[in-house]
């Protein structure tokens, strides 16, 4: 294929992602082969001799993995293929073996998507690093050689590392925790239920058979509709906790024994308290979509609260440079540098949650009831094409940041924010709550979230954003 025919649209802010076999805007075997060539070339330029690869359970995974491998090997870099595994195992494999890895995964996207998450010399590629791969492909700048191929099973090593790490669960738990695990037919089903059972828990598996068609529900635990089966199962079995994983095992969803969804920012509050009780003064990083209560909890527990832009690559880079012990995103990515390796790992995060619950004398519902809460929305997606979404955000920022008085008059809303945050989209905070709009880095959507102290305040903030956004783009369709 001509190098110029590779679509720039699939090269996102912190990974590569597209529709499989769409020749204009997606991932074909030929495209993935070229991406492999580019990755191998960059890795070799950074003195890497080998690279770990893995794939999730998607139907396109095996053939695209073969194409990726061909591309990598053709540059002269060695390939260590760890097979069909959750994304965290590629990160661990790279950490243990060679500092570089590529995970072929569509993450939480629909079945017809796939993509690549890339680590080179210990750094997760994002931003300019991703765009550099595209530039190399367009210019045909590839190393030439013949790398060596080998396969390796690291599931036993990963499992044992967690078992060694989470010893308290076995030592202090008198009665087994009853845990419902919903893997959404994603790759976490290959090992998460068995691992949790080894932590002395009674496991009730739900949709744990790996099936790239995702026949039961979409593999995205950040959406309430995808947690309904888990809620029902927790209530039916009178379980202590419900855990949900996304398609590649790096996002975690939580449901209490009462069937209440606990959004990731509140789960992060619990992790932060547990870590800061033993490591006072530690820094905790969270993304712009998280509750304003989170910062209060972190500071009250003696920690340093730092807000970051959304994206697993950005979060890992920020944690590495700052030495933060914990990071988290509203999407369900959790990053433990306390006792773990700093990469996003939903399976390990689930085990850390079980450890906390095992040590608690009260139920999960009672544990989370002790944390502050607010009236809030889950993530709201508003469709907008990739070519328009970032332009729209810049136009909205300009309208609201530079023309406040004029905006006030047109919208007839009292616009007196206490803070306007622009590190990722636009988050506006008032004394009564806040709203956020940002461009998704993985889908053709704008992402919104709102939080307030009352329903009335929430409605007012939502109305403000809706009217302001409609002034920029009247064709937007809102469901609030």
d(CA 236, CA 10): 42
Residue with tokens 């072929």: 104
Contacting residues for 339 by C-beta, under 8 A, at least 6 apart? 165
Contacting residues for 342 by C-beta, under 8 A, at least 6 apart? 316, 319, 320, 335, 336
Among candidate residues 107, 308, 376, 440, the one labeled active-site is 107
Q: In the annotation, is 463 catalytic?
A: no
> Would you report the helix, strand and coil content of the chain in percent, each value rounded to 5?
40, 20, 35
Q: Are 50 and 80 in contact (CB under 8 A)?
A: yes
d(CA 220, CA 108): 5
Q: Which two tokens stand for residue 205?
A: 């598996």
Q: Are 49 and 13 in contact (CB under 8 A)?
A: no
d(CA 395, CA 51): 41
DSSP letter string, 26-95: EE-HHHHHHHHHHHHHHHHHTT--EEEEEE-S-TTHHHHHHHHHHHHHTTT-EEEEEEE--HHHHHHHHH
Q: Which two tokens stand for residue 201?
A: 């828990």
Phi and psi, residue 88, nearest 5° = -55, -25
d(CA 179, CA 256): 10
d(CA 209, CA 190): 7
DSSP letter string, 197-238: HHTT-EEEEES-S--TT--SS-S-TTSGGGGHHHHHHHHHHT
Phi and psi, residue 58, nearest 5° = -70, 150
Q: Which two tokens stand for residue 268?
A: 């992060």
d(CA 136, CA 226): 39
Catalytic residue numbers, as ranges = 107
């Amino acid at each position: 294929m001509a190098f110029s025919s590779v679509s720039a649209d699939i090269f996102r802010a912190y990974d590569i992602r597209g529709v499989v076999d769409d020749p204009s805007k997606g991932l074909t075997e030929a495209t993935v082969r070229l991406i492999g060539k580019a990755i191998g070339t960059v890795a070799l330029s950074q003195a890497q001799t080998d690279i770990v690869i893995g794939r999730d359970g998607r139907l396109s995974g095996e053939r695209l993995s073969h194409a990726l491998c061909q591309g990598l090997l053709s540059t002269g870099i060695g390939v260590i293929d760890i097979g069909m595994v959750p994304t965290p195992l590629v990160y661990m494999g790279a950490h243990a073996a060679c500092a570089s890895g590529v995970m072929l995964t569509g993450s939480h996207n629909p079945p017809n998507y796939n993509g690549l998450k890339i680590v080179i010399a210990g750094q997760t590629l994002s931003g300019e690093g991703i765009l550099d791969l595209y530039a190399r492909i367009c210019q045909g700048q590839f190393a030439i050689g013949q790398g060596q191929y080998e396969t390796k099973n690291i599931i036993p090593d990963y499992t044992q590392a967690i078992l060694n790490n989470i010893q308290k669960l076995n030592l202090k738990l008198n009665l087994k925790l009853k845990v419902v695990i919903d893997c959404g037919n994603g790759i976490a089903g290959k090992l998460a239920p068995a691992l949790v059972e080894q932590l002395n828990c009674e496991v009730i598996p739900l949709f744990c058979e790996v099936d790239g068609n995702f026949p039961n529900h979409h593999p995205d635990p950040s959406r309430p509709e995808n947690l309904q089966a888990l809620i029902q199962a927790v209530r039916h079995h009178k379980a202590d906790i419900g855990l949900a994983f996304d398609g590649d095992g790096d996002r975690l969803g939580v449901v209490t024994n009462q069937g209440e969804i606990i959004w990731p920012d509140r789960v992060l509050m619990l992790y932060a308290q547990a870590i800061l009780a033993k490591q006072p003064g530690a820094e905790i990083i969270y993304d712009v979509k998280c509750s304003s209560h989170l910062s209060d909890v972190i500071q009250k527990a003696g920690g340093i609260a730092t807000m970051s832009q959304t994206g697993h690559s950005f979060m890992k880079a920020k944690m590495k440079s700052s030495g933060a012990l914990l990071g988290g995103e509203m999407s369900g990515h959790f990053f433990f540098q306390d006792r773990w390796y700093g990469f996003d790992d939903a399976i390990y995060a689930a085990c850390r949650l079980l450890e906390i619950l095992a040590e608690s004398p009260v139920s999960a519902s009672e544990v989370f009831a002790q944390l502050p809460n607010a009236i809030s929305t889950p993530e709201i997606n508003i469709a907008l094409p990739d070519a328009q979404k970032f332009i729209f955000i810049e136009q909205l920022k300009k309208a609201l940041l530079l023309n406040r008085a004029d905006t006030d008059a047109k919208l007839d809303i009292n616009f007196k924010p206490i803070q306007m945050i622009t590190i990722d989209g636009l988050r506006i905070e008032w004394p009564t709550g806040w709203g956020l709009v940002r461009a998704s880095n993985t889908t053709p959507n704008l992402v919104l979230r709102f939080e307030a102290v009352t329903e009335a305040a929430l409605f007012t903030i939502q109305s403000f954003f809706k009217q302001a956004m409609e002034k920029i783009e009247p064709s937007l369709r809102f469901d609030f």
